[in-house]
């Protein structure tokens, strides 16, 4: 005869996962400086903030620049050019959530670079942009 609540025999394992998962996700949170170091290493060259600022404000053969939606001052909120949706400040000093989740950062770089440049941005372009954004103060 099988005990009525056999599923509870496995509860300690599930409880361990339930408590470990949030800690594991937190462990993957990064600092913008850590992301910059990773991107710089991938690029194989030092990041240059001046190039990042120029990249942010320039049009790259497409209709928009980064500043079209993120605003000329990335320490302030922006607004999406076609949807009008509010966009939080891009500079990490003005928005503590920026550049702390590697997967989220890559997702938005991929989308935004496609809109602005028409392709994925290279590690050097990302590093330059992040190097500039890190220098900005609210």
As a 3-state breakdown, the chain gives helix, strand, coil percent values, each rounded to 5, of 55, 5, 40
48 is a domain residue = yes
Within a domain: 19: no
Question: What is the chain's Cα-based Rg?
Answer: 20
* Res. 28 pLDDT band, cuts 50 70 90: low
pLDDT in tens, 67-96: 999 999 999 999 999 999 999 999 999 999
| Exposure letters 2-30 (e unless 16+ CB within 10 A, then b) | eeeeeeeeeeeeeeeeeeeeeeeeeeeee
pLDDT digits (tens, 9 = 90+) for 41-70: 999 999 999 999 999 999 998 999 999 999
54 Cβ neighbours under 8 A, 6+ residues apart? none
Q: Is 50 exposed, middle or buried (0-12, 13-18, 19+ CB in 10 A)?
A: exposed
Query: To the nearest whole number, what is the mean pLDDT of the chain?
Result: 85
Domain of residue 40, residue span: 31-135
Evaluate whether residue 114 is within a structural domain.
Answer: yes
Residue 11 in any domain: the answer is: no
Number of independent structural domains in the chain: 1
More confident residue, 10 or 119: 119
Residue 30 confidence class, pLDDT cut points 50, 70, 90: confident
51: in domain: yes
Other Cβ atoms within 10 Å of 54 Cβ, number: 13
Tokens of 90: 């891009």
Give pLDDT, residue 1. 55
Task: Give me the CATH number covering residue 70.
Answer: 1.10.760.10
Query: In the Cβ-directed half-sphere of 10, how many Cα atoms lie within 13 Å?
Result: 4
């Amino acid at each position: 005869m099988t005990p009525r609540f056999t599923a509870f025999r496995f509860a300690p394992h599930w409880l361990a996962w339930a408590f470990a998962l949030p800690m594991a996700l937190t462990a993957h949170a990064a600092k913008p400086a850590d992301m910059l170091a990773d991107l710089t290493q991938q690029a194989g060259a030092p990041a240059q903030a001046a190039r990042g600022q120029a990249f942010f404000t320039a049009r790259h053969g497409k209709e928009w620049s980064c500043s079209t939606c993120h605003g000329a001052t990335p320490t302030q909120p922006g607004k999406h050019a076609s949807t009008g949706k509010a966009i939080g400040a891009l500079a990490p000093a003005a928005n503590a959530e920026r550049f702390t989740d590697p997967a989220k950062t890559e997702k938005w770089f991929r989308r935004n670079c496609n809109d602005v440049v028409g392709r994925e941005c290279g590690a050097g372009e990302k590093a330059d942009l992040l190097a500039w954004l890190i220098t900005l103060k609210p």
